[in-house]
Amino acid sequence: MTAMNLVLPSRAAGPPLVSRLAASAAVVEGGVMSNAEVLAWLDERQREQQQHVERVPFAALRGWRFDQRTGDLRHDSGRFFSVLGLSVHSDFGPVRTWSQPIIHQPEIGILGIALRDFDGIPHLLMQAKSEPGNVNGVQLSPTVQATKSNYTGVHGGSAVPYMDLFRRPGPGQVVADVLQSEQGSWFLHKRNRNMVVEVGPEVVAGDDFAWLTLGQVNLLLRHDNLVNMDARTVLSCLPDWRGGRENLVEDAGWSLHTGREVRTWITRRRAEHEVSVAPIPLAQAQGWLRTQHAVTHCNGLYFDVVAVDVSSRGREVPAWSQPLLEPRGMGVAALFVKRIDGVVHALLRARAEPGFLDVVELGPTVQCVPENYEHLPEADRPPYLAQALARRESARYDVVLSEEGGRFRNAQSHYMIIETESDFPAMSDEFRWLTPHQLDELLCYSHHLNVQARTLVAALRSL
């Protein structure tokens, strides 16, 4: 193990683990497991957790039904989530008024990663977890990924492993704990706690779990559909460990815009546009049709709501059925970056998505499913999309990643980081160049970076 070569103070005497994240990121081969062992473990988990997932008609859902009056799709227990209609009115953009199905899940869940010292190197406890919506079964997930219904046992399954580490952390153990939003086009006001907690040697890895260094996780982040969305968002909420690394030394104090200017910009974007959203009965969502097999848009765009039946050995509940949201088409999430006087800046867009709690969050430079815009005139297509596709060849990062497989079926996007020339312009007040240090600051507070931007922050740090 590379880690063995380092002589560092013991856990009791040393600085908190978080101060050693840079050392963890530097270990890209062999923490407590070699990379070959990690891949073998993932393969084995893939076999062990084999899930059989089958599309079924809504009538075959067990415990879920469409409300007779509203047409909303709900679980009989009233928990988990429901699919409602949402009516949206805004005062900007090419399409200002629409209605759509949306997932309502008011419970706040926990996405948590445990951090443990091994010979001076912090390791992350990652989980191999299959989800019914994943294109490929098992992906690398946080230590814990649980809705309140999960961890309070509403579905009658077994206890969530490691849950107590996050529900009852000791003093000084919490490295990060921040509420973050999820897809604002698909979820209404959804957010989860993103937690990182230091743990001691008494915490050991069960069969579905492995201790990886940050360097190993970053390496896996270069593989298609391997690190799941929940893991990516928690990783982004880790304090940025790169301050001390030689190849990325930057003056944390300098940036194109001051912190105050950035906050002022976000306030203005939130205040100046009116976006009003109101839940409506799903049956009243105009332009959406319900068949026996799907709730679908009349033009075949955006997404479908479908039903699946799942049988599995590895889950808390061995067999169940549930609705999933299945997007039409492959997404693009591209972050443009450039150096200004040597300091890295990323081009963020202030995005109004109907499900955001506070109107606007910062997203990547480009975030869309290109097919949804093909029927619109060129001028109404997303800014920078054409440039992102044209520059794809030279992307510094270009990986296909999945959104959460517990809610979304086959939801994949090309996540890209594209470096541009230093005079590449921000085209309007919707866009700003921010430094990684500024993003890190915003990530300490809820509701500033959307989930796609958070994935790209995790990816940017891995470069």
Which positions touch its own copies (CB under 8 A)?
A: 106-108, 110, 148, 174-179, 193, 259-261, 263-264, 267-268, 270-271, 274, 276, 357-358, 444-447
Q: Which is nearer to its own copies, 324 or 443 (CB)?
A: 443
What is the distance between the alpha carbons of residues 18 and 177, in angstroms, rounded to a whole number? 14
The encoded tokens of residue 432 equal 């700003």
In the bound complex, what is the minimum distance in angstroms from residue 350's beta carbon to its own copies?
14
**What is the length of the chain?**
463
Which one-letter DSSP state was computed for residue 404? -
**CA 293 from chain center: how many Å?**
28
Q: Which is nearer to its own copies, 53 or 199 (CB)?
A: 199
In the bound complex, what is the minimum distance in angstroms from residue 459's beta carbon to its own copies?
24
Q: Which residue has the tokens 């940050």?
A: 214
User: Across the strands, what pairs with 123?
Assistant: 116, 213
Q: Which is nearer to its own copies, 269 or 297 (CB)?
A: 269
In the bound complex, what is the minimum distance in angstroms from residue 269's beta carbon to its own copies?
11
What is the distance between the alpha carbons of residues 411 and 451, in angstroms, rounded to a whole number? 14
Q: Which is nearer to its own copies, 261 or 341 (CB)?
A: 261
Q: Which is nearer to its own copies, 276 or 286 (CB)?
A: 276
In the bound complex, what is the minimum distance in angstroms from residue 148's beta carbon to its own copies?
8
In the bound complex, what is the minimum distance in angstroms from residue 230's beta carbon to its own copies?
16
Distances (CA, A) of 279 to 177, 269, 380: 29, 23, 27
| 111 Cβ neighbours under 8 A, 6+ residues apart | 142, 144, 145, 192, 193, 194, 195, 230, 233, 234
Q: Which is nearer to its own copies, 101 or 109 (CB)?
A: 109
In the bound complex, what is the minimum distance in angstroms from residue 91's beta carbon to its own copies?
11
- Provide DSSP, 328-345: SS-EEEEEEEEEETTEEE
In the bound complex, what is the minimum distance in angstroms from residue 171's beta carbon to its own copies?
9
Q: Which of 300, 305, 320 is nearest to 66 (CA)?
A: 305
Phi then psi for residue 338, to 5 deg, are -155, 165
Q: Which is nearer to its own copies, 182 or 419 (CB)?
A: 182
